[in-house]
Structure 1
Amino acid sequence: MFNNVIVRVPGKSLSEGISGADEGKPIYNSAIVQHEYYVNALTKTGVNITVLPPLEEFPDSCFIEDNALCTSKCTIISRPGAETRRKEVQSSDLQEALGKFYKNIEEIKEPGTIEPGDIMMVGDHYYIGLSDRTNEEGAEQMIAILEKYGLSGETVTMKEMLHLKTGVNYLEHNNLLVAGEFKDDPRFDKFNKIEIPEDEAYAANCIWINDYIIVPAGYPKVKKAIEDLGQYKVLEVDTSEFRKVDGGLSCLSLRF
């Protein structure tokens, strides 16, 4: 169960965020509205929400998930693989917000890089994708810190996705959304896999919060597949503006 969520309001600089998509630049006013709907959906799940203000000097800062990994025992400040985001994690309001909830605060050191968009939590075990943003040194540091607190982790080799959770997301109750290269990964065979069709691949990035599943709006096949499991309340949120800068539902919050 999650009790707390931290989000950061998008800045007007969002249009300058990192993007591999070819869908144009996000419209700031639309992004703000979508973010408000996102926060409203989070509220329905029963969590307490801390809202941090925009950081205009960091266009991608609303994707706060990549700033830290929040576990049941500690929080670990990341060291993003994207150089433009390195100083973002040092923002005083983030440090202050995390300090209200955690006594144990760790951090990834150079030359390690890791972005928690590459980390999927399954109970006390963490799958860590090796991507362009997360290197082996960062993953090894993360696993060592997790083990220090009685948790565990393992690495997942990736070839196609930006982040691990671009293509695989755990919904609790042994249910796993899988897309692309993760459909045939034997390490996930023990889960009940819900395979995401290629034409709705973006919707592989859904989030579980207290038996609610938040699903990106506009992907009816994925929504129906989750509803058909009969285990969750499903909420839809439009994230189309954030998709333009490679963002999804999980990117927009720290959940713990």
Structure 2
Amino acid sequence: MFKNVIVRVPSQTVSEGITSANEGKPDYRKALVQHENYVSALTKLGVDVTVLAPHDEFPDSCFVEDVALCTSKVAIITRPGALTRRKEAELPDMKEALEKFNQNIETIKEPGTVESGDIMMVGDHFYIGLSARTNQAGADQMIAILEKYGLSGEAVPLKEVLHLKTGLSYIENNNLLVSGEFKNDPRFDTFNKLEIDPDEAYGANCIWVNGTVIVASGYPKIQKKIEGLGYPVLNVDTSEYRKIDGGLSCLSLRF
């Protein structure tokens, strides 16, 4: 169960965020409303939400998931692979928020790079995607830190997606949403896999929060499959964040 969530309000410069989506620039006011609805959905599910102030100098800083990994035993401050995002991990308010909830704080060091959009938690085990943003040195450091605290991890090479959780979402009880390159990956054969159709690939990024699954609005086939497993579903519109390569999990740290 999750007790706490950290989010950051999108900045007025959010339209300048990194993107490969080719879907136009996000509208700041719409992004604000969608973020407020996202926080509201989380609050309904029984978590306390810490809301950090926007930082206009960092257009992507609303995607707080990438700058830290929060586990039951340690919080790990990452070193983002995107150069324009690297200093986000050093922002004092994020460090203060992490220290409020975690006695143990560790940090990824150069030459390692890690963005936690590449990390999927399954119990005490963490799958770490090797991507353009997360390198082998970063994954090795992350695994060493996890093992120091009695946790475990393994690296997963990526071929197509930006981040591991672009194409995978673990929704507990051994249920895993899979799309694209992960459908036939033997690493995930022990899971009950819910395969996502290519036309709903973006919707594969869902988040489980205390028994409910939050699903991006507009992906009815995914929602039906999740509801078929007995999960309640909440819909949140993230269309403005899709324009800058962001999804549901990117917008929060959950622990």
Distance 1:236 1:64 in 2: 20
Name the aligned partner's letter for residue 36 of structure 2. Answer: E
Name the aligned partner's letter for residue 213 of structure 1. Answer: V
Distance 2:160 2:87 in 1: 27
* Runs of 5+ consecutive residues of structure 1 not aligned to the other structure: none
Tell me how far 1:184 sits from its aligned partner: 0.2
Tell me how far 1:3 sits from its aligned partner: 0.3
Task: Give the corresponding residue for 2:239.
Answer: 240
Q: What do the CA deviations read for 1:144-188 (whole angstroms, capped 9, x no partner)?
A: 000000000000011000000000110000000000000000010
Tell me how far 1:233 sits from its aligned partner: 1.3
Alignment of 1:41-80 (within 5 A): 41-80=41-80
Task: Give the corresponding residue for 1:123.
Answer: 123
Tell me how far 1:23 sits from its aligned partner: 0.4
Superposition CA RMSD, Å:
0.4
SS of aligned partner of 1:36: helix
Distance 2:120 2:99 in 1: 23
Q: What do the CA deviations read for 1:101-122 (whole angstroms, capped 9, x no partner)?
A: 0110000000000000000000
Name the aligned partner's letter for residue 21 of structure 1. Answer: A
Q: Percent identity between the aligned chains? A: 72
Q: What do the CA deviations read for 1:23-46 (whole angstroms, capped 9, x no partner)?
A: 000000000000000000001110
Name the aligned partner's letter for residue 128 of structure 1. Answer: I
Alignment of 1:1-256 (within 5 A): 1-230=1-230, 232-256=231-255
Tell me how far 1:64 sits from its aligned partner: 0.2
Name the aligned partner's letter for residue 10 of structure 1. Answer: P
Name the aligned partner's letter for residue 125 of structure 2. Answer: H
Tell me how far 1:220 sits from its aligned partner: 0.5
Distance 1:55 1:147 in 2: 34
Name the aligned partner's letter for residue 143 of structure 1. Answer: I
Distance 2:19 2:32 in 1: 18
Distance 2:134 2:142 in 1: 10
Distance 2:150 2:37 in 1: 36
Name the aligned partner's letter for residue 200 of structure 1. Answer: E
Distance 2:32 2:253 in 1: 18
Distance 2:75 2:55 in 1: 21
User: TM-score of the superposition, structure 1-length normalised?
Assistant: 0.99
SS of aligned partner of 1:12: coil
* Runs of 5+ consecutive residues of structure 2 not aligned to the other structure: none
Distance 1:138 1:255 in 2: 21
Distance 2:198 2:57 in 1: 35
SS of aligned partner of 2:162: coil
Tell me how far 1:48 sits from its aligned partner: 0.5
Distance 1:249 1:34 in 2: 11
Distance 1:157 1:28 in 2: 34
Name the aligned partner's letter for residue 2 of structure 1. Answer: F
User: TM-score of the superposition, structure 2-length normalised?
Assistant: 1.00
